[in-house]
Structure 1
Amino acid sequence: MGRGAYGLARVAVIVRAPAGWLWWSGLLAAGIGALPPGLTGRRIGVLAGIAGGLIAASAVYAARRRRWRALLGAAERAGRSVVLQDRAVTLRTWRRAHRRWLLLAFLAAVASSFALPAAGGLLLAGAGLGLWAKALWLGRWERDHDALLWVRTEAAVRGGAAGRTVPGHRTTGLAAGDAAPGGTRKPRRSTGAGRR
């Protein structure tokens, strides 16, 4: 991972970052998309959207599972020189870097409703659900191993927490940082970014 001080972001927080946006924007797009009858009619569009959303959720949850298991199995203890990034900063950084793609996905979901009403929005919502489920899976791993998973901040923004540019994950104790296992907020607010 390199010598000297470097920043680490929580893996589960990065996975969660697009989940809420995809879920709520998908539901909004589905609501807007249900207004026009479309080419197939609302009933067919909604049914296709539900099926597509379930498939998308399953696919996103299972995506790159071999890569994830390899990274988790090879995770090493973080050094004392690392700087742990706040949960809010990680969320804001990821969404800022990907906001154009998120907006395009929303617009595409709404536009697709002229063919299949609500289907595109439900597909987006399903993808968000799959990411949320993956964050829960990571949270279970963290609790089972009494460790939180971290990745270098720059690698995470470029290709995701399990992307090809990620050389490996690092671990800390459960008390580190300001996010609980799975990337949720801790019950009590901590002081923010810290050093381990």
Structure 2
Amino acid sequence: MAVIVRAGAAPLWWAGLVAAAAGAFVPGLTGRRIGLLAGAALFIVVAAVVLLARGRRYRELARGASRAGRGDFLQDRAVTVRVWRRGHRWWLLAAFVVAVASSFALPGAGGLVLAGAGAGLWAKAVRIGQRERHEDVLYWVRTDWAGHGSPVAKRVRAYRTTGPEAGDAAPGGARRRRR
């Protein structure tokens, strides 16, 4: 489940940094200094909002989680990341274009907003990973419930759990390190 959250973190982070760097070279209407300072403030605000968004729903679904059964379809981390990124590639591209275009008004701010969203998603995945480590389980969303959407979408009725060694994902959605 944390894999779905984490899947969007890296593309948003890197697209945001590239857009902010490109925007730093454009003087813009407000000037570089004001644009980058506003972008830094927006980075913090957006990261906090993304981190805290829908936290109650995540907790409710985690509280009601049940053990994964034989009839549950769970997919590997690599497949989940690939499916999520393919399903959202046009939205990510559009967000990048808007962030670069906004640099003509407020240099770098749009890119830093995207990077803040990526940082917030990464922090949310880390928080989920801490809960998974504490409870010694991995949370999963059934593939037929999640689709390309969110792990807290209306279609998701409950999470499934497995042991912490199941699959190829570590707690928090990171890639499992094999020893």
Fold conserved between structures, TM > 0.5: yes
1:148 maps to 138
* Aligned partners of 2:73 and 2:143 also within 8 Å: no
Percent identity between the two aligned chains: 62
* Aligned partners of 1:113 and 1:120 also within 8 Å: yes
TM-score (norm 1): 0.88
Which one of 168, 181, 185 corresponds to residue 171 of structure 2?
A: 181
Compute the displacement of 1:83 (Å). 4.2
1:56 maps to 46
One-letter amino acid of the counterpart of residue 174, structure 1: P
2:92 maps to 102
SS of 1:180's equivalent?
Answer: coil
One-letter amino acid of the counterpart of residue 127, structure 2: W
Compute the displacement of 1:66 (Å). 1.2
Instruction: Name the stretch that deviates more: 159-168 or 27-36.
Output: 159-168
* Aligned partners of 1:159 and 1:165 also within 8 Å: no
One-letter amino acid of the counterpart of residue 46, structure 1: L
What CA distance in whole angstroms lies between the structure 2 residues aligned with 1:54 and 1:75?
Answer: 32
What CA distance in whole angstroms lies between the structure 1 residues aligned with 2:53 and 2:71?
Answer: 32
User: Which stretches of structure 1, 4 residues or more, deviate above 6 A after TM superposition?
Assistant: none
Instruction: Name the stretch that deviates more: 156-165 or 50-59.
Output: 156-165
Q: 2:119 matched to 1:166?
A: no
Aligned length: 179
What CA distance in whole angstroms lies between the structure 2 residues aligned with 1:185 and 1:151?
Answer: 17
* Aligned partners of 1:158 and 1:165 also within 8 Å: no
SS of 1:84's equivalent?
Answer: coil
One-letter amino acid of the counterpart of residue 116, structure 2: G
Compute the displacement of 1:107 (Å). 0.4
For structure 1, the 5+ residue unaligned runs are: 1-10, 190-196
Instruction: Name the stretch that deviates more: 55-64 or 178-187.
Output: 178-187
Which one of 8, 20, 30 corresponds to residue 18 of structure 1?
A: 8
Q: Give the alignment of 1:4-153 within 5 angstroms.
A: 11-153=1-143
**What's the C-alpha RMSD, in Å, of the aligned pairs?**
1.2
For structure 2, the 5+ residue unaligned runs are: none
What CA distance in whole angstroms lies between the structure 2 residues aligned with 1:124 and 1:82?
Answer: 34
State the Cα deviation string for residues 14-63 of structure 1 (Å, max 9, x = none). Answer: 00001000001100000011111000000000000000010000000000
One-letter amino acid of the counterpart of residue 125, structure 2: A
State the Cα deviation string for residues 144-179 of structure 1 (Å, max 9, x = none). Answer: 111000001233234300111211110000111011
